[in-house]
Amino acid sequence: MIRYLIEYHNYPKSMIRIESGLKYDKLKKRSDILVYGKQGEPFLVIECKSPDIKIDAQVLNQVAAYSKSLKVKYIGVTNGLTHYCWAIDQEARTTENLGDFPLYQ
């Protein structure tokens, strides 16, 4: 997934963090992939599962909870075979399925 972001979407390696710590409802959690924007703000969080794990509501709820804590613009999930990405409007509480990950901005 990281290689895909770097090679096909121009994500700089220096702005990608793996297993970054975060707090959600007083719990300590870890995001699998966290990408920072050009101003150093959280930009995209991705939850990674193994190929034998189906991407279901539980996985989506997990990454959605991380997005609330991190205030990212985009969330994604992958199991290495299937990938999904959504644009998030935190204030309006809406999502838009993008079909692919955004180019780095």
pLDDT digits (tens, 9 = 90+) for 32-55: 899 999 999 999 999 999 999 999
pLDDT bin (cut points 50, 70, 90) of residue 64 is: confident
Task: Give Cβ neighbours of residue 47 (< 8 Å, ≥ 6 apart).
Answer: 31, 32, 59, 62, 63, 66, 75, 76, 77, 78
Residue range of the domain that includes 40: 2-16+27-97
Q: Is residue 75 part of a domain?
A: yes
Is 77 strand, coil or helix?
strand
Domain of 57, CATH number, reads: 3.40.1350
Q: Is 79 among the domain residues? A: yes
Task: Answer yes or no: is 103 within a domain.
Answer: no
Instruction: Give yes or no for a contact between 105 and 37, defined as CB atoms under 8 angstroms apart.
Output: yes
> Is 102 within a domain?
no
Q: Is residue 51 part of a domain?
A: yes
pLDDT of residue 3 exceeding 60, the answer is yes
> What is the pLDDT at residue 24?
52
Measured in whole angstroms, how far is the alpha carbon of residue 6 from the centre of its chain?
Answer: 14
* 82: in domain: yes
Between 22 and 31, name the one with better pLDDT: 31
| Domain total of the chain | 1
Please indicate, yes or no, if residue 21 is contained in any of the structural domains.
no
Q: Within a domain: residue 44?
A: yes
**pTM for this prediction:** 0.86
